[in-house]
C-alpha cells in the first residue's frame, strides 16, 4: 500500500491505529494514539521477506504494476516523482514514509528493515 495520508486523528480502543506491510509515501502525522495494552502502529518490510516473491518479474506485485501506465505524465502529476522509477528504485522496499505521532498513550511496535 502506498500513498496513504492519515493526519490529525484520534484513535482510541482499536487494535491498530495504523498497520502497513511496507509501501511508499505513506504519511501518519499528528495523530493521537490511545490504546491500552495493544499495538498502536505496525509497519513492516514484508516485500523484502516472506512476500518477496511477488516483487520479482512474474510475481504478483510486478505483474499488477505492469498493467498500469505508472510512467505516464498523468500518473506522475497525481502520484509524485517516485512512481515512474519504482522498478529501478528497489521495488518492494519501504521508502519515503513519514510516521510522526502527535501523542501516544500506549506502546507502539515498529518493524523496520
What is the per-residue pLDDT for 87?
83
Q: Which residue has the higher pLDDT, 21 or 102?
A: 21
For residue 17, what are the CA distances in angstroms to 6, 95, 100? Answer: 10, 20, 13
Least confident of 19-28, 79-88, 104-113: 104-113
Whether residue 97 has pLDDT greater than 50: yes
Q: Could you tell me the pTM of the whole model? A: 0.74
Q: Which residue has the higher pLDDT, 86 or 105?
A: 86
Q: What is the DSSP letter of 19?
A: E
User: pLDDT (tens digit, 9 = 90+) per residue, 49-83?
Assistant: 998 998 888 888 888 888 988 888 888 888 777 77
- The span from the CA of 40 to the CA of 99, in Å, is 12
User: pLDDT (tens digit, 9 = 90+) per residue, 13-44?
Assistant: 887 778 888 888 888 888 888 875 566 777 88
User: Cell numbers of 59, please?
Assistant: 510475481
Amino acid at each position: 500500500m502506498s500513498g496513504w495520508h492519515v493526519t490529525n486523528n484520534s484513535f482510541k480502543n482499536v487494535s491498530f491505529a495504523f498497520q502497513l506491510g511496507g509501501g511508499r509515501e505513506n504519511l501518519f502525522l499528528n495523530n493521537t494514539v490511545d490504546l491500552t495494552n495493544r499495538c498502536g502502529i505496525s509497519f513492516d518490510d514484508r516485500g523484502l521477506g516472506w512476500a518477496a516473491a511477488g516483487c520479482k518479474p512474474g510475481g504478483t506485485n510486478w505483474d499488477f504494476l505492469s498493467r498500469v501506465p505508472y510512467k505516464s505524465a498523468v500518473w506522475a502529476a497525481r502520484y509524485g516523482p517516485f512512481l515512474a522509477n519504482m522498478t529501478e528504485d528497489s521495488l518492494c522496499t519501504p521508502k519515503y514514509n513519514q510516521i510522526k505521532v502527535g501523542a501516544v498513550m500506549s506502546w507502539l511496535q515498529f518493524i523496520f528493515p
